[in-house]
Amino acid sequence: MVAIDPNLVLSVILVMVTCLLFFLAWQETRIVRQEARTVIANYINTEVGRKDVQEVRTKVLREISLESVAPGKPLPPLPDDLPEKDLLMLAVAYDRLAFLVKGNRGLEKEVVEWHREVIEVWLRLRRYVVEEWRKEAGRSHRVELWQALAERWAEKLPK
């Protein structure tokens, strides 16, 4: 009869428990990631996808060129049909989206891949935000999360 070493049995049990714990942690992470995707998709559909937000975004992309707001050039006035309150509504919607994906590079990447306009709109409004809106009292930190997200990913987008 072969004697079974109790240390070997204990080691095998510990390895099995460790594998089970890793599996459960992986499963929980996968579920949390899926729930986060659902929250973000709902936010995009209900806030970023609202008709008024889409209209402002379309106007920004159509009427403010990257060349006109390039660094070193005088900042042109906003087009007449783009009031500042509408641009702030758009900026706040994107800032909230950036908050939802903050710290999760996988979700950030998905948002940027599927909603590239998040960055394209930022590149057009950056100077207005930094040079005008943040100079007003109480607005010094306006849309910082959106700025961080857009600038982190702007260089990674295909031209």
Minimum mean pLDDT among 82-86, 93-97, 100-104: which range? 100-104
User: Where does 44-104 have alpha helices with state H?
Assistant: 51-63, 84-101
Q: Please report whether residue 126 resides in a domain.
A: yes
User: What is the number of structural domains in the chain?
Assistant: 1
Domain range for 147 is 36-154
Q: Please report whether residue 26 resides in a domain.
A: no
Q: Please report whether residue 106 resides in a domain.
A: yes
Q: Please report whether residue 27 resides in a domain.
A: no
pTM over 0.85: no
Q: Please report whether residue 25 resides in a domain.
A: no
CA 104 to chain centroid, in Å, comes to 9
Span 127-156, pLDDT tens digits: 888 888 888 767 777 788 888 888 888 777
Q: Please report whether residue 24 resides in a domain.
A: no
**What Rg value do the Cα atoms of the chain yield, rounded?**
24
Q: Please report whether residue 2 resides in a domain.
A: no
Q: Please report whether residue 22 resides in a domain.
A: no
Place of tokens 């106007």: 59
